[in-house]
């Protein structure tokens, strides 16, 4: 019943706490509902997905492509540096006093040195006459159909040029650079020698030296500058040498020889 009297108001209800004010940094955009920081579901009801997890296959493919590209470019640089080293080694003569001069074998024609082998032997003869080593080691076996080994042909040639027979040592079993230098290492080890000056063509100098070093010899190179092969042939062979050296440095030249023969 309304008697006209004023009803007292409870002071606990007379001053309600004001609603929190939102700053411009935290206030939601117009029309956007307020959400809890831990609420991963927007008002539309579609769960939020982290950007990194939206396309995992695409990210994996991108990383794979970038890795392969880096390896490819790195391989090109590595090969290019190796090719430059092949050329550089072939242009520098490391002639010095050593225990033995080693002549890498090449073809012979029924006991007569081929122009390639003759160029190497003439160069080795000059080094011997300079007194750089007391012995010359000639290398190379016999190919099918040959009457003489490369080493035997080389021995006869040097002997005819005045080198004493006792100063010529022959390795006659090798059919590759590795086999020939392995035989040289054994022959010199029997004599307590290990310092060698390798005579070969410019493109072949670096691989010969690296193989000799892998076999435990202290090796230097003195490339012949009278090779009958022209610059074009030398360059093509340098390309092949660089590829073999690039692989041999990684897996070892003995293992490379086991694979390639």
CATH numbers and ranges of domains, the chain: 93-229 (3.40.50.620)
For residues 127 and 71, which has the higher predicted lDDT (pLDDT)? 127
Give CA–CA dist 233/242, Å, rounded: 14
Tens-place pLDDT, residues 55-66: 677 888 888 888
- Taking alpha carbons only, the member of 209, 189, 25 closest to residue 102 is 209
Pick from 236, 239, 188, 237: which is nearest to 216 by CA?
188
CB 113 within 8 A of CB 154: yes
User: Residue 104 is encoded by which pair of tokens?
Assistant: 């890498």
Q: What percent of the chain has pLDDT over 90?
A: 64
pLDDT confidence of 158, banded at 50, 70, 90?
very high
How far is residue 253's CA from residue 261's CA, in Å, rounded to a whole number? 11
SS (H, E, C) 49-68: CCHHHCCHHHHHHHHHHHHH
| Residues recorded for the chain | 261
Tell me the pLDDT band of 45, cut-offs 50, 70 and 90: low
pLDDT digits (tens, 9 = 90+) for 90-124: 999 999 999 999 999 999 999 999 999 999 999 99
Contact criterion met (CB below 8 Å) for 145 and 107: no
pLDDT band per the 50, 70, 90 thresholds, residue 11: very low
Q: What are phi and psi of 239, to 5 degrees?
A: -60, -45
Q: Is-contact 167 185, C-beta < 8 A?
A: no
Question: What Å distances lie between residue 257 and 44, 109, 140, CA to CA?
Answer: 68, 27, 16
- Band of residue 175 on the pLDDT scale cut at 50, 70, 90: very high
pLDDT score of 44: 57
Whether 149 and 111 have beta carbons less than 8 Å apart is answered as no
**Nearest to 210, CA basis, from 258, 141, 257:** 257
Q: What is the pLDDT of residue 51?
A: 55
Sign of the four-CA dihedral 88, 91, 95, 101: positive
Tokens, residue 250: 């990684």
Contact call for residues 131 and 125 (beta carbons, < 8 A): no
End-to-end CA distance of the chain: 119
Instruction: Name the region of 47 (left: φ>0; alpha: ψ -120 to 50; beta: rest).
Output: beta
Residue 74 backbone phi and psi in degrees, to 5:
-65, -40
Could you tell me if 142 and 105 are in contact, meaning their C-beta atoms sit under 8 angstroms apart? Answer: no
């Amino acid at each position: 019943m309304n008697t006209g009297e004023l009803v007292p108001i409870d002071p606990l209800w007379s001053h309600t706490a004001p609603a929190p004010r939102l700053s411009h940094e935290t206030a939601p955009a117009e029309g956007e509902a307020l959400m809890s920081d831990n609420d991963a579901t927007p008002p539309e009801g579609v769960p939020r997905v982290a950007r990194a997890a939206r396309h995992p296959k695409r990210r994996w493919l991108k990383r794979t492509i970038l890795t392969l590209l880096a390896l490819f470019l790195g391989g090109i640089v590595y090969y290019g540096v190796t090719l430059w080293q092949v050329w550089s080694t072939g242009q520098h003569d490391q002639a010095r006093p050593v225990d033995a001069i080693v002549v890498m074998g090449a073809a012979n024609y029924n006991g007569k040195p081929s122009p390639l082998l003759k160029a190497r032997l003439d160069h080795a003869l000059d080094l011997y006459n300079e007194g750089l080593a007391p012995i010359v080691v000639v290398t190379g076996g016999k190919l099918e159909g040959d009457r003489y080994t490369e080493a035997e042909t080389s021995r006869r040639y040097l002997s005819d040029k005045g080198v004493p027979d006792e100063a010529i040592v022959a390795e006659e079993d090798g059919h590759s650079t590795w086999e020939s230098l392995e035989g040289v290492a054994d022959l010199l080890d029997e004599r307590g020698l290990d310092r060698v000056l390798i005579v070969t063509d410019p493109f072949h100098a670096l691989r010969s030296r690296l193989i000799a070093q892998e076999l435990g010899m202290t090796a230097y190179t003195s490339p012949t500058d009278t090779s009958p092969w022209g610059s074009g042939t030398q360059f093509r062979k340098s390309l092949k040498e660089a590829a073999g050296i690039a692989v041999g440095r990684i897996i070892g030249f003995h293992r490379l020889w086991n694979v390639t023969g």
